[in-house]
Amino acid sequence: MGRKDAERLLLNPGNQRGIFLVRESETTKGAYSLSIRDWDEVRGDNVKHYKIRKLDNGGYYITTRAQFESLQKLVKHYREHADGLCHKLTTVCPTVKPQTQGLAKDAWEIPRESLRLEVKLGQGCFGEVWMGTWNGTTKVAIKTLKPGTMMPEAFLQEAQIMKKLRHDKLVPLYAVVSEEPIYIVTEFMTKGSLLDFLKEGEGKYLKLPQLVDMAAQIADGMAYIERMNYIHRDLRAANILVGDNLVCKIADFGLARLIEDNEYTARQGAKFPIKWTAPEAALYGRFTIKSDVWSFGILLTELVTKGRVPYPGMVNREVLEQVERGYRMPCPQGCPESLHELMKLCWKKDPDERPTFEYIQSFLEDYFTATEPQYQPGDNL
């Protein structure tokens, strides 16, 4: 677990000062970090991180004057006295248990009869999304595709790649029904799509720090896709899913390439998400990780406007023409200029001048310490 995820867990509402967790250090192999929730008048609730160092003889210490033969003894000591830490340790922070790798070892292609569709969660151009149960026991999300949306053979081939992409900010693919109508079975996310969450859910009331954190999580998942030399092709709030504690995960990666509908493949057709698509991808079909970066810039506008459609008042054709001429969306109301600058970097005409997702992730994770330390909540954000 990384520093940022540790902070997210410890700062969950309901956690008290002194709640802690021990995790493997991101920066030093074989070392550990102790993360503790603290509070002070200047910063309010915050998290302090302490490096736990290892002795050559196998012991552990935070400060050389207090050395322990095991991590358990170190924790026991700091539960009894703060001894130089910001606060003495109270309870261990519960972590979210990792999702199963799939439904069962051999259950990758599953029979349709093993799935029960229970609650329809949404409907799109190409199918529906349902909450359901697999084998009467496991709660899952099921995406059903209209017959003719994509070739089953091509889908199965892509699904083999998608199955291998495993990251805690990507919605894991559990199983498929590969005959038409194709069913895609994934982890069920309690709060639904980010778009609906921002427009109708609790997301309406979020302030900038939570929105930037959600953006950082999405950038984290996209940085993994970047490292794996994969491309999403349809990155937007509608394809991000939200779970408990504002956890965000990327869904539908790679599927857009397989869609066979003429209204989509024409790229100017009614079903194509032109407002999210980089000009070189919309005009010439050049989809790369850099066209995903463009889409991420548009997704940032969705976050800060709580789900408003990009380029308000403009139709698709107009957007394409204006963007080609150099038009870019102005800074949304209440959005800090520094965040708009990041959007504009994502919208550079030359794809090579756009930042990497690795850069975007670190920029957003450190946003309130490095870029906007003076942030004060306003009416809007």
Q: Enumerate the known binding-site residues.
A: 143
The two beta strands, 183-186 and 192-193, are unpaired
234 carries an active-site annotation = yes
Which of the residues 38, 213, 234, 292 is marked catalytic?
234
Q: Enumerate the known binding-site residues for ATP.
A: 143
Catalytic residue numbers, as ranges: 234
